[in-house]
C-alpha cells in the first residue's frame, strides 16, 4: 500500500511539474508573439512618422513671381528663404521683408493650432472605434491618418500659397498692410469640414472591414501612438511637460548617438531629429 501511495504521489508531482513547464512555455510563447507583434506595429508608426517628417518636402512654383519656395517644416510649412531672396532682388525694404516673414509665420501658427484641433477629433474617433490594438488595426487607421495629412498639405499648396503667400508678397511690394484673416478662416473651416467628412467615411468603412472590435476600453492607445506631438516628444525621449532647456539638452544628447562616419544614416537621423526639435520649439512658442 505504501509503495502504491508513493508511486501515486510521484505521478502527481510529475504531472504537476509537466503542467508548470507547459504553462510556462505557453506564456513565453504568447509573450514572444506579443513582442513580435508590437515590434511590427512600432515599425509602422516609425514609417508613418518619417513620411511626414522626412518625405514631405515639396518645392512649389510661385507662378506670378517666377520663383520656387520650399515647404519642408512640420506639418507642412514654408522655409521662405527663397521668398526672402526674391524680395531682396525686387528691392523690397528689409523691414517690409521681415514683416512679411513674420506675418506668414503668424498665419501658419493659427493654422497649426487648427491642424492639431482637427487631428485630435480624428484620433478621438480612432479610440472610440474600440478596435483591437494589433497590426491590422494600425494599418487600417494609418490610411485615414495619412489622408488627413494629405488634406492639410493640399490646403497649404492650393489655398495658403495662392491666397496668403501671394497676397503678402503683393502687399510687401506695394508697401501696404495686408489682411489675410478671412483667408486663414477659410482654410481652417475647410480643414475642419474635410476632417469631419473623413471621420464619417471612416465610420462607414469600419463596418465593411474584418477588424476585431473589443469591449470599451478607457485606454487611449491609438490617439497616443498616432498623435504628432506625442511622437515628436517620444523621438527626443522627453515629456510633453519638458521646458525648452531640457528639450535642447535632450536634442543635443540624441544627436551625439549617431556616428557622422556613416554619412547617409547620420544625415537621415539628423534631419528627422532637427525637424522634430524645430517643431517642438515652435509648438511651445505658439502655446505660450
**What does the pLDDT read at residue 27?**
55
Closest to 101 (Cα-Cα) out of 75, 73, 82: 82
CB 168, CB 178: distance < 8 Å: yes
- pLDDT single digits (tens) 88-134: 999 999 999 999 999 999 999 999 999 999 999 999 999 999 888 88
Residues 101 and 209 in one domain: yes
CB 228, CB 74: distance < 8 Å: yes
**C-alpha pair distances (Å), 19 with each of 14, 15, 31, 229:** 9, 6, 18, 47
Residue 112 falls inside a structural domain: yes
Residues 190 and 259 in one domain: no
- pLDDT single digits (tens) 134-145: 899 999 999 999
Residue 193 falls inside a structural domain: yes
Residue 73 falls inside a structural domain: no
Residues 124 and 194 in one domain: yes
Residues 151 and 240 in one domain: no
* E strand or H helix that includes residue 49: helix 2-53
- pLDDT single digits (tens) 12-37: 766 666 666 556 655 555 444 444 44
The domain that holds 279 is classified in CATH as: 1.10.287
Residues 99 and 171 in one domain: yes
* E strand or H helix that includes residue 148: helix 135-155
Does residue 242 sit in helix, strand or coil?
coil
Point out the domain boundary residue: 199, 219, 239. 219
Binned at pLDDT 50, 70 and 90, residue 216 comes out as low
Beta-carbon contacts of residue 140 (< 8 Å; ≥ 6 apart) = 131, 209, 211
For residue 209, pLDDT over 90 is answered with no
Residue 251 falls inside a structural domain: yes
Residue 181 falls inside a structural domain: yes
**C-alpha pair distances (Å), 286 with each of 137, 172, 185, 248, 281:** 33, 24, 18, 17, 9
Q: Which residue range(s) make up the domain with 258?
A: 227-288
Point out the domain boundary residue: 170, 186, 219. 219
Residues 98 and 123 in one domain: yes
Cα 135 to Cα 241: distance, rounded to the nearest angstrom: 30
Lowest mean pLDDT among 19-33, 217-231, 253-267: 19-33
**What does the pLDDT read at residue 37?**
47
**What does the pLDDT read at residue 2?**
62
Residues 156 and 241 in one domain: no
Does residue 60 sit in helix, strand or coil?
strand
In the chain, the number of structural domains is 2
Residues 184 and 283 in one domain: no
Mean pLDDT calculated for residue range 255-279 = 79
Residues 279 and 202 in one domain: no
- Of the two residues 224 and 51, the one the predictor is more confident about is 224
Residues 194 and 269 in one domain: no
Residue 6 falls inside a structural domain: no
Query: For all residues of the chain together, what is the average pLDDT?
Result: 85
Locate 143 and state its grid cell. Answer: 490610411
Point out the domain boundary residue: 163, 192, 219. 219
Residues 209 and 275 in one domain: no
**What does the pLDDT read at residue 124?**
95
Binned at pLDDT 50, 70 and 90, residue 286 comes out as confident
**What does the pLDDT read at residue 32?**
42
Mean pLDDT calculated for residue range 168-189 = 95
CA 109, 273, 117: angle at the middle one, nearest 5?
30
Residue 61 falls inside a structural domain: no
Cα 94 to Cα 233: distance, rounded to the nearest angstrom: 36
Cα 110 to Cα 160: distance, rounded to the nearest angstrom: 12
Residues 239 and 283 in one domain: yes
**What does the pLDDT read at residue 151?**
96
**What does the pLDDT read at residue 42?**
85
- Of the two residues 54 and 204, the one the predictor is more confident about is 204
**C-alpha pair distances (Å), 203 with each of 126, 128, 242, 282:** 10, 10, 36, 33
**What does the pLDDT read at residue 21?**
57
Residue 163 falls inside a structural domain: yes
Amino acid at each position: 500500500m505504501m509503495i502504491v501511495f508513493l508511486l501515486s504521489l510521484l505521478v502527481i508531482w510529475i504531472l504537476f511539474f509537466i503542467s508548470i513547464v507547459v504553462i510556462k512555455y505557453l506564456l513565453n510563447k504568447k509573450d514572444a508573439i506579443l513582442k513580435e507583434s508590437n515590434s511590427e506595429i512600432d515599425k509602422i508608426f516609425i514609417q508613418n512618422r518619417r513620411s511626414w517628417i522626412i518625405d514631405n518636402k515639396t518645392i512649389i512654383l510661385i507662378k506670378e513671381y517666377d520663383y520656387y519656395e520650399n515647404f519642408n517644416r512640420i506639418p507642412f510649412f514654408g522655409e521662405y528663404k527663397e521668398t526672402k531672396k526674391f524680395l531682396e532682388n525686387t528691392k523690397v525694404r528689409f523691414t517690409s521683408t521681415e514683416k512679411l516673414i513674420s506675418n506668414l509665420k503668424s498665419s501658419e501658427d493659427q493654422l497649426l493650432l487648427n491642424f492639431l484641433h482637427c487631428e485630435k477629433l480624428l484620433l478621438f474617433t480612432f479610440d472610440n472605434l474600440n478596435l483591437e490594438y494589433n497590426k491590422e488595426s494600425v494599418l487600417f487607421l494609418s490610411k485615414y491618418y495619412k489622408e488627413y495629412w494629405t488634406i492639410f498639405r493640399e490646403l497649404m499648396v492650393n489655398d495658403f500659397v495662392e491666397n496668403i503667400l501671394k497676397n503678402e508678397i503683393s502687399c510687401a511690394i506695394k508697401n501696404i498692410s495686408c489682411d489675410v484673416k478671412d483667408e486663414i478662416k477659410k482654410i481652417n473651416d475647410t480643414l475642419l469640414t474635410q476632417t469631419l467628412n473623413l471621420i464619417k467615411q471612416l465610420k462607414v468603412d469600419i463596418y465593411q472591414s474584418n477588424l476585431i472590435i473589443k469591449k470599451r476600453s478607457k485606454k487611449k492607445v491609438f490617439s497616443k501612438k498616432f498623435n504628432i506631438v506625442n511622437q515628436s516628444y517620444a523621438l527626443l525621449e522627453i515629456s510633453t511637460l519638458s521646458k525648452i532647456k531640457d528639450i535642447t539638452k535632450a536634442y543635443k544628447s540624441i544627436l551625439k548617438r549617431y556616428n557622422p562616419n556613416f554619412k547617409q544614416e547620420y544625415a537621415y537621423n539628423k534631419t528627422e531629429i532637427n525637424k522634430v526639435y524645430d517643431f517642438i520649439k515652435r509648438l511651445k512658442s505658439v502655446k505660450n
